[in-house]
Amino acid sequence: MAPTMVVVEFQRLAAEDARFQGLSFPHFIEKAAPLQLLPALTASSRLDAGEVAALSLAVERQADAVLMDEQAGRAAAASLGLRTIGLLGVLRDAKEQSLIPAVAPLLDRLEKEADFWISTSLRNIVLKSAGEIS
């Protein structure tokens, strides 16, 4: 499930940012708005509107985990007792479930085409956990 605010953010990026052109938000992901934004999150200047909506919705729906890559968002999730998973974890899990054949080519594309920065040590951890390096 994705907050409508995140979908709007994604659509704006797809229209304005060359890295996102041609992408569309996956149709199979349910969209919803939280009934209310958590006051502790809205008071934070470190979180953007999409992160506040995602965390509020995750608490409201008692989500198993929340997709969050940004450090401030991950810290806020931890303070709320939420488990986080980032994009790299999603890719690792997709490989584990045989939804994709390999993680490494996707990491390469993220770095080259989307300017997604991945440290060498993190890349190695992800590839090791995906069984692509020893």
In this prediction, residue 59 carries a pLDDT of: 96
Range of the domain at 96: 87-129
Terminal CA-CA length for the chain: 34
Same domain, 53 and 67: yes
In this prediction, residue 20 carries a pLDDT of: 84
Tens-level pLDDT at each residue, the chain (134 residues): 999 999 999 999 999 988 888 888 988 999 999 999 999 898 888 999 999 999 999 999 999 999 998 899 999 999 999 999 999 999 999 999 999 999 999 999 999 888 889 999 999 999 999 999 98
Same domain, 15 and 64: yes
- Structural domains counted in the chain: 2
In this prediction, residue 4 carries a pLDDT of: 94
Same domain, 29 and 59: yes
Tokens 């890295």 -> residue: 19
134 within some domain: no
- pTM attached to this predicted model: 0.81
Angstrom distances, CA of residue 115 to CA of 6, 9, 60: 20, 18, 33
43 within some domain: yes
